[in-house]
Amino acid sequence: ASFSFMGCLQISDGSNIVNLLASNSPSVSYALTQQKYFSNYSPVIGFYIYEPIEYWNATVQEHLKTLSHGFNKISWMDNFF
């Protein structure tokens, strides 16, 4: 399976991600909202699969669920719940 992590790096030193986006892109609204409400938290990390996959297949869904569980556990967050 091929996959990647997106959002693992943060742009800093005065750079604003909004300046890198097309002005009519829906990503601008997302980026501004993320900066306003979530900038005090760690960067957003996306989990993407770059190959055809049968999402409707129950076995595939279970495999993806198992795969994603490794990313759900964040020890320092346990202190807040």
Q: What is the pLDDT of residues 27-47, one digit of tens each?
A: 888 888 888 888 787 666 667
Domain boundaries, the chain: 3-80
Q: What is the pLDDT of residues 57-77, one digit of tens each?
A: 999 999 988 887 776 666 666
Q: Is the pLDDT of residue 11 over 60?
A: no
pTM value surpassing 0.75: no
Q: Pick the most confident of 5-9, 46-50, 61-65.
A: 61-65
Q: Is the pLDDT of residue 48 over 80?
A: no
Dihedral angle, C-alpha 62, 2, 47, 19, nearest 10 °: -160
Query: How far is the CA of 29 from the CAs of 4, 22, 23, 42, 47, in angstroms?
Result: 24, 11, 10, 19, 21
Would you say how long the chain is, in residues?
A: 81
Rounded mean pLDDT, 10-16: 58
